[in-house]
Structure 1
């Protein structure tokens, strides 16, 4: 799964500069400074679940599991027409993102919509909460807990 690809070296294109970010777990992540494209992007108003709402449900559960979707945004392809505004330049050339980068304005809303669509039935059964790239499974009984985890991992 290639997240970025080299497109050239001396092409005249719209580009942004790369930014190196320190992650909370001590590693580094290369990102683009996409503030300019984000300023011109129409906001996706898809609702992101609020954590306090989930806490109320979880406080009554006997068993809780959290599954984190590693690099979840990178699971989504960038539309061909959008790649031109997702370019970064460095001394090795010009690169464009082929997968959704983390620092794009509508990436969280898009990912939340995708997760809600995939897990719609489970969410409506009130034993799962999805918050962007985190899946929280909760249950009163051990048997249901194992059944729910298996159901999620089978998707």
Structure 2
């Protein structure tokens, strides 16, 4: 019974907060260079910008992942654990910029498009 509880503890929903540091799984990433066999299972050290319920998070992406959609399921996230300076004295982490979080941002419509045309046909 104890083994079952230990197994389940690792798979329970994790409560993420805004500005937490996480690693993203490369399970569905196709645009990371190099052979798939040698890819890291988790990349980055990303900042959570917005929580979309308990199942999705929006990340501040950088590097080669800037072109990806920034919203990911929580199941593909893993908390970032900083490296121990005593064990790895020569390892220097890359600098991280935390974006400002605006909770009360007013959104206004800039332009209303009456018709949209794609490949010469009207779109609804």
Quick check: TM above 0.5? no
**Which of the two has higher C-alpha Rg?**
2
Q: Which has the higher helix share?
A: 1
Higher relative contact order (CA 8 A, sep 6+): 1
TM-score interval for Structure 1 and Structure 2 normalised by the shorter chain: under 0.3
